[in-house]
Amino acid sequence: MEEIVEPDVRPCCNKEYGCSETVDYTRKNDHEENCTHAPCACPLPACNFVCSCEQLSLHFSSKHWDSGRRFRYNTPLSVSLGMNKQFLVLQAEEDGILFLLNKSVENIGNIAMITCIAPSSSKVYYLYDLVSGKGMSSLRLKSLTENFPGRVEGFPPMDFLLIPFRFLGPAGEINLEVCIWNSTELGSDCP
């Protein structure tokens, strides 16, 4: 007599963040690595809030509305990062998506890049443009955001803009023009 064994089916570990899938033991690891409902953390160091990406947007808008800059897609935004400031939170006005303008000081200058606060498994990427200028000279990086579920610790191997020290402002600040598109069309350009 053959015994039929039912597969061990359980809700996704991200159920509390909005995932309604149930997965069997054989698919559990694959699903959890690719689950778009993986939790994201508030990027502010003093805040321990963890939730879904959508809830994080609402949390940041209501609790930290004065701790970042709001921007419009496809429109240039001038920003300044002080000498001791490591990042700036950017929040899209249209959909509330959070981005981080990250900065690090290295021995040959400052490096800057933009990441999107989203589960690492997210397949949505945003095209962005960073421009740093001094006099008649300018430096430009056009790249795609990487997705991270919170603040980036250190600088992972990805595209960045190297800004030599001579491009810094009088107080050691970095002045940048930032543009993020809600489209990944490589032909896109800021007005």
Domain membership flag for residue 30: no
Given a cut of 70, whether residue 187 has pLDDT beyond it is no
Domain membership flag for residue 126: yes
CA-nearest of 43, 34, 126 to 88 is 43
> How far from 95 is each of 35, 57, 87, 127, 153, CA to CA, in Å?
21, 9, 21, 16, 26
pTM reported for the whole predicted model: 0.85
- What's the CA gap between 70 and 89, in Å, rounded? 9
Given a cut of 70, whether residue 57 has pLDDT beyond it is yes
pLDDT attached to residue 121: 81
Domain membership flag for residue 115: yes
Quote the radius of gyration of the chain (alpha carbons, Å). Answer: 20
Domain membership flag for residue 23: no
Query: CATH code at 73?
Result: 2.60.210.10
Number of C-beta neighbours around residue 12 at 10 A: 19
Domain membership flag for residue 176: yes
- What's the CA gap between 181 and 172, in Å, rounded? 29
Higher pLDDT, 27 or 144: 144
Tally of domains within the chain: 1
| Pairing verdict, β 127-134 and 137-144 | antiparallel
Given a cut of 80, whether residue 33 has pLDDT beyond it is no
8-state DSSP, 165:
G
- pLDDT, tens digit, for every residue of 141-172? 999 999 999 887 766 778 999 999 999 999 99
- State which residues form the domain around 84: 67-180
Q: Which residues contact 130 (CB under 8 A, 6 or more apart)?
A: 112, 113, 114, 140, 141, 161, 176, 177, 178
Q: Pick from 52-56, 71-75, 179-183 the range whose average pLDDT is largest.
A: 71-75
Domain membership flag for residue 21: no
pLDDT confidence bin for 29, thresholds 50/70/90: confident
8-state DSSP, 185:
-
Domain membership flag for residue 55: no
Burial of residue 177, with CB atoms counted within 10 A of its CB: 0-12 exposed, 13-18 middle, 19 or more buried? middle
pLDDT confidence bin for 114, thresholds 50/70/90: very high
Domain membership flag for residue 122: yes
